[in-house]
A = this chain, B = another copy of it.
Amino acid sequence: MTQNIYDDEAFFQGYSQLNRSVNGLDGAPEWPALNAMLPDVRGAKVVDLGCGYGWFCRNVCEQGATHVLGLDVSEKMLNKARSMTSDPAIEYRREDLEQLQLPAENYSLAYSSLTLHYIQALPELFATVYQSLLPGGHFVFSAEHPIFTTPSQPGWIIGKNGEKTWPINGYQQEGKRITDWFAPGVIKQHRKLATYINLLIGAGFIITRLDEWGPSDEQLATTPALSEETERPMMFLLVAQKPR
Protein backbone atom coordinates (compact mmCIF):
# COMPACT_ATOMS: atom_id res chain seq x y z
CA MET A 1 0.00 0.00 0.00
CA THR A 2 1.19 3.51 -0.76
CA GLN A 3 2.36 5.34 2.35
CA ASN A 4 -0.73 7.18 3.60
CA ILE A 5 1.07 10.30 4.77
CA TYR A 6 -2.02 12.44 4.23
CA ASP A 7 -3.66 10.84 7.27
CA ASP A 8 -0.68 11.79 9.42
CA GLU A 9 -2.02 14.51 11.71
CA ALA A 10 1.00 16.83 11.42
CA PHE A 11 1.15 16.36 7.66
CA PHE A 12 -2.57 16.96 7.27
CA GLN A 13 -2.43 20.13 9.36
CA GLY A 14 0.42 21.49 7.27
CA TYR A 15 -1.07 20.41 3.97
CA SER A 16 -4.42 21.96 4.83
CA GLN A 17 -2.76 25.38 5.08
CA LEU A 18 -1.44 25.27 1.50
CA ASN A 19 -2.91 27.78 -0.89
CA ARG A 20 -4.07 24.89 -3.10
CA SER A 21 -5.90 23.38 -0.12
CA VAL A 22 -7.54 26.61 1.04
CA ASN A 23 -8.35 28.05 -2.37
CA GLY A 24 -8.64 24.88 -4.43
CA LEU A 25 -7.90 24.93 -8.12
CA ASP A 26 -7.46 28.70 -8.16
CA GLY A 27 -4.76 28.31 -5.51
CA ALA A 28 -2.74 25.97 -7.74
CA PRO A 29 -0.56 27.96 -10.15
CA GLU A 30 -0.45 25.13 -12.70
CA TRP A 31 -4.24 24.88 -12.87
CA PRO A 32 -4.74 27.30 -15.82
CA ALA A 33 -2.28 25.25 -17.90
CA LEU A 34 -3.72 21.92 -16.78
CA ASN A 35 -7.29 23.12 -17.34
CA ALA A 36 -6.41 24.19 -20.89
CA MET A 37 -5.22 20.62 -21.58
CA LEU A 38 -8.52 19.02 -20.53
CA PRO A 39 -11.07 17.75 -23.04
CA ASP A 40 -14.69 18.89 -22.99
CA VAL A 41 -16.28 17.06 -20.04
CA ARG A 42 -19.94 17.73 -20.84
CA GLY A 43 -21.75 14.42 -20.58
CA ALA A 44 -18.56 12.65 -19.54
CA LYS A 45 -17.85 10.07 -16.88
CA VAL A 46 -14.68 11.00 -15.04
CA VAL A 47 -12.36 9.32 -12.55
CA ASP A 48 -9.95 11.33 -10.37
CA LEU A 49 -6.96 9.39 -8.99
CA GLY A 50 -5.96 11.08 -5.73
CA CYS A 51 -8.87 13.48 -5.46
CA GLY A 52 -7.87 15.05 -2.14
CA TYR A 53 -10.46 17.63 -1.09
CA GLY A 54 -12.40 17.00 -4.30
CA TRP A 55 -11.90 20.43 -5.90
CA PHE A 56 -11.49 18.90 -9.36
CA CYS A 57 -14.47 16.54 -8.95
CA ARG A 58 -16.75 19.46 -8.11
CA ASN A 59 -15.30 21.54 -10.94
CA VAL A 60 -15.93 18.96 -13.67
CA CYS A 61 -19.45 18.40 -12.38
CA GLU A 62 -20.07 22.14 -12.72
CA GLN A 63 -18.68 21.84 -16.27
CA GLY A 64 -21.26 19.19 -17.12
CA ALA A 65 -19.71 15.82 -16.26
CA THR A 66 -22.49 13.35 -15.49
CA HIS A 67 -20.62 11.13 -13.06
CA VAL A 68 -17.36 11.65 -11.20
CA LEU A 69 -15.57 9.05 -9.11
CA GLY A 70 -13.05 10.57 -6.71
CA LEU A 71 -10.51 8.14 -5.28
CA ASP A 72 -8.07 8.74 -2.46
CA VAL A 73 -6.15 6.69 0.08
CA SER A 74 -6.68 9.30 2.80
CA GLU A 75 -9.80 9.07 4.92
CA LYS A 76 -9.21 12.62 6.18
CA MET A 77 -9.10 14.00 2.67
CA LEU A 78 -12.23 12.07 1.66
CA ASN A 79 -14.14 13.22 4.73
CA LYS A 80 -13.27 16.80 3.93
CA ALA A 81 -14.28 16.23 0.29
CA ARG A 82 -17.58 14.67 1.28
CA SER A 83 -18.35 17.61 3.58
CA MET A 84 -18.04 20.02 0.66
CA THR A 85 -20.69 18.65 -1.69
CA SER A 86 -24.08 16.99 -1.77
CA ASP A 87 -24.03 16.51 -5.55
CA PRO A 88 -25.24 12.95 -6.28
CA ALA A 89 -23.11 12.92 -9.46
CA ILE A 90 -19.99 12.74 -7.29
CA GLU A 91 -18.93 9.55 -5.57
CA TYR A 92 -15.93 9.45 -3.24
CA ARG A 93 -14.28 6.14 -2.47
CA ARG A 94 -11.25 5.13 -0.47
CA GLU A 95 -8.84 3.21 -2.68
CA ASP A 96 -5.23 2.17 -2.59
CA LEU A 97 -4.08 3.17 -6.08
CA GLU A 98 -1.39 0.48 -5.89
CA GLN A 99 -4.15 -2.10 -6.33
CA LEU A 100 -6.84 -0.20 -8.16
CA GLN A 101 -9.37 -1.94 -10.33
CA LEU A 102 -11.82 -0.06 -12.54
CA PRO A 103 -14.60 -1.19 -14.88
CA ALA A 104 -13.61 -1.57 -18.55
CA GLU A 105 -14.31 1.11 -21.18
CA ASN A 106 -16.26 3.26 -18.76
CA TYR A 107 -14.66 6.72 -18.54
CA SER A 108 -14.04 9.54 -21.00
CA LEU A 109 -11.47 11.15 -18.74
CA ALA A 110 -9.05 9.91 -16.12
CA TYR A 111 -7.39 12.68 -14.17
CA SER A 112 -4.71 12.82 -11.50
CA SER A 113 -3.13 15.80 -9.79
CA LEU A 114 0.27 15.44 -8.08
CA THR A 115 -0.34 11.85 -7.01
CA LEU A 116 1.48 9.49 -9.38
CA HIS A 117 4.93 10.21 -7.90
CA TYR A 118 3.76 8.36 -4.78
CA ILE A 119 2.89 5.18 -6.69
CA GLN A 120 5.17 2.15 -6.91
CA ALA A 121 2.99 -0.02 -9.16
CA LEU A 122 2.78 2.55 -11.94
CA PRO A 123 2.80 0.09 -14.90
CA GLU A 124 -0.18 -1.71 -13.34
CA LEU A 125 -2.00 1.58 -12.65
CA PHE A 126 -1.46 2.80 -16.23
CA ALA A 127 -2.83 -0.52 -17.54
CA THR A 128 -5.86 -0.16 -15.24
CA VAL A 129 -6.51 3.40 -16.43
CA TYR A 130 -6.09 2.42 -20.08
CA GLN A 131 -8.64 -0.38 -19.98
CA SER A 132 -11.07 1.81 -18.00
CA LEU A 133 -11.15 4.48 -20.71
CA LEU A 134 -13.50 4.55 -23.65
CA PRO A 135 -11.79 4.56 -27.08
CA GLY A 136 -10.62 8.13 -27.66
CA GLY A 137 -10.68 8.82 -23.92
CA HIS A 138 -8.06 10.99 -22.26
CA PHE A 139 -5.70 10.56 -19.34
CA VAL A 140 -4.59 13.97 -18.07
CA PHE A 141 -2.28 14.24 -15.10
CA SER A 142 0.31 16.26 -13.26
CA ALA A 143 3.17 14.76 -11.28
CA GLU A 144 6.33 16.00 -9.65
CA HIS A 145 9.06 16.46 -12.25
CA PRO A 146 12.08 14.13 -11.99
CA ILE A 147 14.31 17.21 -11.73
CA PHE A 148 12.40 17.96 -8.54
CA THR A 149 12.32 14.42 -7.18
CA THR A 150 15.84 13.21 -8.02
CA PRO A 151 18.15 15.06 -5.58
CA SER A 152 19.28 13.18 -2.51
CA GLN A 153 19.39 16.59 -0.79
CA PRO A 154 16.70 18.69 -2.49
CA GLY A 155 17.05 22.43 -2.04
CA TRP A 156 18.28 25.64 -3.61
CA ILE A 157 21.84 26.88 -3.63
CA ILE A 158 21.86 30.67 -3.31
CA GLY A 159 24.71 32.41 -5.12
CA LYS A 160 26.54 35.60 -4.16
CA ASN A 161 24.05 37.76 -6.02
CA GLY A 162 21.01 35.87 -4.82
CA GLU A 163 20.78 33.71 -7.95
CA LYS A 164 19.31 30.30 -7.37
CA THR A 165 20.48 26.97 -8.73
CA TRP A 166 18.96 23.55 -8.09
CA PRO A 167 21.62 20.83 -7.81
CA ILE A 168 20.61 17.41 -9.02
CA ASN A 169 22.16 13.99 -8.73
CA GLY A 170 21.14 10.36 -9.01
CA TYR A 171 18.87 10.98 -12.01
CA GLN A 172 19.32 7.46 -13.40
CA GLN A 173 18.59 5.83 -10.05
CA GLU A 174 14.85 5.46 -10.06
CA GLY A 175 12.91 4.55 -6.96
CA LYS A 176 12.35 5.73 -3.45
CA ARG A 177 13.19 9.25 -2.27
CA ILE A 178 12.52 10.21 1.32
CA THR A 179 12.00 13.86 2.19
CA ASP A 180 10.62 15.89 5.06
CA TRP A 181 7.55 17.84 3.94
CA PHE A 182 5.14 18.78 6.77
CA ALA A 183 6.14 15.46 8.35
CA PRO A 184 9.40 13.49 8.40
CA GLY A 185 9.86 10.55 6.08
CA VAL A 186 7.54 11.33 3.19
CA ILE A 187 8.17 8.65 0.56
CA LYS A 188 8.08 9.53 -3.13
CA GLN A 189 9.05 7.56 -6.21
CA HIS A 190 11.61 9.19 -8.53
CA ARG A 191 11.06 8.25 -12.16
CA LYS A 192 12.55 9.67 -15.30
CA LEU A 193 10.23 11.50 -17.67
CA ALA A 194 11.24 8.86 -20.21
CA THR A 195 9.90 6.17 -17.90
CA TYR A 196 6.49 7.83 -17.52
CA ILE A 197 6.30 8.29 -21.29
CA ASN A 198 7.48 4.79 -22.22
CA LEU A 199 5.14 3.19 -19.67
CA LEU A 200 2.20 5.11 -21.16
CA ILE A 201 3.19 4.11 -24.70
CA GLY A 202 3.64 0.52 -23.53
CA ALA A 203 0.13 0.55 -22.06
CA GLY A 204 -1.24 1.58 -25.47
CA PHE A 205 -1.55 5.34 -25.02
CA ILE A 206 -0.62 8.00 -27.56
CA ILE A 207 1.23 10.95 -26.05
CA THR A 208 -0.52 14.12 -27.20
CA ARG A 209 0.94 16.88 -24.98
CA LEU A 210 3.68 17.39 -22.40
CA ASP A 211 4.19 20.52 -20.33
CA GLU A 212 7.21 20.88 -18.05
CA TRP A 213 5.30 23.53 -16.18
CA GLY A 214 6.52 27.01 -15.38
CA PRO A 215 4.65 30.19 -14.44
CA SER A 216 3.33 32.55 -17.09
CA ASP A 217 4.50 36.15 -17.36
CA GLU A 218 1.17 37.27 -15.87
CA GLN A 219 1.61 34.94 -12.90
CA LEU A 220 5.17 36.19 -12.34
CA ALA A 221 3.92 39.78 -12.38
CA THR A 222 1.22 39.14 -9.77
CA THR A 223 3.13 36.54 -7.71
CA PRO A 224 6.88 37.29 -7.83
CA ALA A 225 7.58 34.41 -5.44
CA LEU A 226 6.87 32.07 -8.35
CA SER A 227 10.07 33.23 -10.08
CA GLU A 228 12.09 30.33 -8.68
CA GLU A 229 9.77 28.03 -10.60
CA THR A 230 11.37 29.34 -13.80
CA GLU A 231 14.77 27.95 -12.73
CA ARG A 232 13.69 24.29 -12.70
CA PRO A 233 10.35 22.58 -13.29
CA MET A 234 8.68 21.29 -10.12
CA MET A 235 6.05 19.34 -12.00
CA PHE A 236 5.03 18.18 -15.42
CA LEU A 237 1.60 17.95 -17.00
CA LEU A 238 0.79 15.30 -19.57
CA VAL A 239 -2.06 14.32 -21.87
CA ALA A 240 -2.27 10.79 -23.22
CA GLN A 241 -5.08 9.42 -25.34
CA LYS A 242 -6.46 5.95 -25.87
CA PRO A 243 -6.70 5.40 -29.65
CA ARG A 244 -10.22 5.53 -31.10
Contact = CB atoms under 8 A, between A and B. Distances in A.
A151 B207 CA distance: 28
Contacts of A236: 194
A169 B163 contact: yes
The size class of the interface chain A forms with chain B is 20 to 34
A63 interface: no
A170 B209 CA distance: 22
Contact of A201 (B164, B168, B194, B207): B207
Nearest to A202: B209
B192 A212 contact: yes
Copies of this chain assembled into the complex: 2
A181 interface: no
Contact of A171 (B193, B207, B233): B233
B147 A230 contact: no
Given A167-B167, A192-B212, 16 more contacts: A147-B168, A151-B165, A157-B157, A166-B167, A168-B232, A170-B230, A170-B231, A171-B214, A171-B231, A172-B230, A193-B193, A193-B210, A194-B236, A198-B209, A201-B209, A207-B207
